[in-house]
Structure 1
Amino acid sequence: MLAGPRQCGKTTFAREIAAKDFADVIYFNWDIAKDKARLIADPVFFSKQPRSAAASRPLVILDEIHKYRDWKNYLKGIYDEFAGQYEFLVTGSGRLEYSRKVGDSLAGRFLKFHIFPLTLAELSGRRRTVKDFLERPLEEFDAAPAGGETAEAFRELWELGGFPEPFSKGRKTFWSTWSQAYGQQIVRDDLLSVADLRNLDKVETLFALIPSKVASPVSINNLAQDLQVSFDTAKNWLLLFDSFYLTFRISPWSRRISRSLLKEKKTYLFNLPVIDNEAARFENLVALELLRAIETWNDSGQGNFSLHYVRNKEKQEVDFLLARKNQPFLLVEAKTSSDSPSASLLAFQSVLNVPAVQLVARDGIKKLYKNGNNDTLVVTAHSWLSALP
């Protein structure tokens, strides 16, 4: 299973895999009317396709199949019957966990991978091994001065985001047109395909509010009151946004943190440039880079990693905490300009006893501080992020 936001390159990637490794390929897309009709008429239509004499098994690509009401049972059935005869690649712009009816479990029948919009690490081509990063998270990054190889990539992502089409066009005017159509298509088409949304105008209003909520703990109670809907309704709409990769949320870290927040999550967007506030957009950019890394490490079997933030009731906060096997191993703070470690970063570092890095939007920053037995690196963001494995 290959999951990720709409228009981030899943279908292109799937077809590249098909062209490289398979002689026989059957492509299906639920969004194409004739494909949908073919599957409904004959659920095992692919088994009727002629095959070449190649030794490899045919590849069946099922694109956007999660929009089919009974998709989990369907996949379970064809896998159990045809796993020895065909390879299956399922791609979708939903998280492939969401459906109206859960149906039979697919446990043990699939491997799941994520694909993301472009990030600094991918654009720079300078990735380290995960093992090396975990051992030395404050070392081996691009230490070039202002104008180094990753600076231009950072500026382009800042202005255009990482979705391939607007990024490759290189024009803010194109991104603006693309972005409006993109959000409307997902809310009005994709979400409606899996959920009964009777207040579509309020769903769109909620999504329009998200850019102003980025980088802050979000109170579902407050959102529900603003929209005049129930708590559960607002909560379910936010889950839908997550499910279709419009947003992602990170949970607060509470272990060993006195008076920590326990419930309110922070919300971020995949379409970065819709955020007007520069500090929030910068934090969102960092969040996307860290999420891509965490998900890639998990997908490739490197371990059990998770992304969090740290905040207590005194409103001391560190933007990100990276954990491995439910143990913290790195703190990350995002600051647009300050080249001195924040007081909250140093305080939580002393409690958690882990390395820390403060990422700064300004070029030419590289400073190393001691905080007790731990090191704290303050560095230009694109220099450090571009080396994430």
Structure 2
Amino acid sequence: MKRIYDNIVTKHLSEDQQMIFLAGPRQVGKTTISKNSAVLTDNFCYLNWDNQDHRRILIAGPESISKYVLQDKIQNTLPILVCDELHKYPKWKILLKGLYDTYKEQFHIIVTGSARLNIFKRGGDSLMGRYFPYRIHPLSIAECLTQALPSREIQQPQAINQDLLQNLLNFGGFPEPLLKQSPQFTLRWQKLRQEQLLREDIRDLSRVQEINQIEILAELIKEQSGQLMSYSNLSQKVGVSVGTISRWLEILNSFYYCFKIKPWSKHVSRSLLRNPKYYLWDWSIVKDPGSKAENFVASHLLKAVHFWTDYGLGDYDLYFVRDKEKREVDFLVTQNSQPWFLVEVKSSQNRSLNSALAAFQAQTGAKHAFQVVFDMPDINEDCFQHTTPIIVPVQSLLAQLI
């Protein structure tokens, strides 16, 4: 299946020398994307840390790796080396620094990881300037419609099959269950993926032993997706300290189980300052329909801000807005630290326009304010031509993103 990230890799390898870092959740397609680059060279090499034979080559160091790649032969095209799951090696950053500094003129390097590849940035990043990161997300409405690289953030309106929205909602955006569209397979896949994430990845890499309690925390996050998160309440339910809850949430973030959205407070009177919200990378496992719909939109917006930032269009981020009078808008997208557009999520077009949209648009100066709904037919119209609060079909807005 063609992904927009395949085109990102192709463009990078044709223009840039830096290493490519592909980071994202387990089974989102990182390995497939990296292997698809084999068509760009006569000499493609793949080393997976989980393969014992490959591991011996990696541990032996840069010279051993270069001999494996170059084979003492003249190369017609620049070879491509993929290092898969290399973050599991404690000295991976030192290895890559030496490998890149010595052989950057002789072959391209792609690194993949299902834990955040910037997780070890404490004390400075020894790889600074040597790589460009690309955060790989599940499939979205826009990516299912086109994999062409955009020239700007917002795309032209596209016709959408209503089945696409329902399939993404029901099966999620991870390639395998979405392509199979089998409820039985999806349930088995979800269960196996969560077991591997919690009982293999997190246990082995984070050295956390209390996996049963982390599973309880993961279940609570799923149940409270999109709600204001109280660390003290979670600590009471899980039976550990607030500090431990905070640390475990960071671990779950780092392994792409969930992501955190903070409140926006600048120029918002009596704004909420502290409590964040959490959403899941796999929205399909959220049970409550309203929470799933909100998580679905959150995931699409996060994918957009990550892509726009990684692609070099600017600096983008995602927040929510809430004040102490409990007025709230679900999401605020910022562009270069300035409010850009607000998004409120509702299930039905029969719900009146949230008055907080106009209030927070006035306070923040956001250019656009949308209330997206799930029961409205697609419209062939540019949602971003409107600068006052407006109700739009969720699929129409999201199709204009990434």
Answering whether residue 174 of structure 2 is matched by residue 163 of structure 1, we say yes
Q: Which residue of 2 aligns with 1:70?
A: 91
The residue identity in structure 1 corresponding to 2:75 is A
Q: Does 1:6 align with 2:26?
A: yes
Amino acid at match of 2:157: F
Counterpart residue number, 1:342:
354
Deviating 4+ runs (over 4 angstroms): 100-104, 126-130, 365-368
Of residues 329, 339, 364, the one that matches 1:352 is 364
Aligned residue for 1:259? 270
Residue 382 (1) aligns with residue 395 (2)? yes
Q: CA deviation at 1:102?
A: 6.1
* C-alpha contact 1:127 1:387 (8 A) present in aligned 2: no
**1:196 lines up with 2:216 in the alignment:** no
Q: Tell me if the contact between 1:73 and 1:103 (Cα under 8 Å) persists in the aligned partners.
A: no
- Hey, what's the Cα distance between the residues in 2 that align with 1:38 and 1:48? 10
What residue number does 2:77 align with? 56
Q: How does 1:140-155 map to 2 (within 5 A)?
A: 140-142=156-158, 149-155=160-166
d(CA) in 2 for partners of 1:244, 1:302: 26
What are the superposed Cα offsets for residues 122-146 of structure 1, whole Å, 9 maximum, x if unpaired? 112287946373xxx9xx434x6xx
Separation of aligned partners in 2, 1:257 and 1:100: 32
Equivalent positions of 1:207-286 (< 5 A) are 207-286=218-297
Amino acid at match of 2:57: R
1:298 has 2:318 as partner: no
Residue 121 of structure 1 aligns to which amino acid in structure 2? A
**What SS class does the counterpart of residue 185 from structure 2 fall into?**
helix
The percent of aligned pairs where both chains have the same amino acid is 36
TM-score (normalizing by structure 2): 0.87
Q: Which residue of 1 aligns with 2:5?
A: none
Asked if the contact 1:72/1:103 (under 8 Å) is kept, the reply is: no
Measure, in 1, the Cα distance between the counterparts of 2:276 and 2:214.
19
In structure 1, the residue corresponding to 2:340 is in which secondary structure? strand
The alpha-carbon deviation at position 352 of structure 1 amounts to 2.1
Number of aligned positions between the proteins: 374
CA-CA distance at 1:330 after TM superposition: 0.5
Q: Offset of 1:57 from its aligned partner?
A: 2.4
Deviation per CA, 1:96-116: give whole Å up to 9, x if none: 011497676211111111211
Per-residue displacement from partner, 1:218-272 (whole Å, max 9, x unpaired)?
1122212221212221111111111111111111100001111112211111111
Output the CA distance in 2 between the equivalents of 1:235 and 1:3. Answer: 23
SS at match of 1:186: helix
| Corresponding position of 2:12 | none
1:214 maps to a residue whose letter is S
2:54 maps to a residue whose letter is D
Q: For 1:25-44, what aligned pairs fall within 5 Å after superposition?
A: 25-42=44-61, 44=63
Query: What residue identity is the alignment partner of 2:91?
Result: D
Equivalent-residue separation in structure 1 for 2:380 and 2:391 (angstroms): 5
Judge conservation of contact 2:57–2:65 (CA < 8 Å) in 1.
no
1:131 is matched with which residue?
152
**Which letter does structure 2 place at the counterpart of 1:247?**
C
Verify the 8 A CA contact 1:251 1:309 in the aligned structure 2.
Answer: yes
For residue 132 of structure 2, give the secondary structure of its aligned residue in structure 1. Answer: coil
Matched, 1:16 2:36: yes
- The yes-or-no answer on 1:120 pairing with 2:141 is yes
Assess if the C-alpha contact under 8 Å between 2:203 and 2:209 holds in 1: no
> What are structure 1's unaligned runs of at least 5 residues?
none
**In the alignment, what sits opposite 2:112?**
91
**Cα distance between partner residues in 2 of 1:169 and 1:126:** 20
Q: Give the aligned residue type for 1:40.
A: I
1:306 CA displacement: 0.6
Supply the distance in 1 between the matched residues of 2:85 and 2:131 (Cα, whole angstroms).
16
What letter is aligned with 1:180? K
The answer to whether the 8 Å contact 2:267/2:363 transfers is yes
Whether 1:363 aligns to 2:402 is no
Question: Structure 2, unaligned stretches of length 5 or more?
Answer: 1-20
The answer on whether the counterparts of 1:128 and 1:387 sit within 8 Å (CA) in structure 2 is: no
Q: What corresponds to 2:13 in structure 1?
A: none
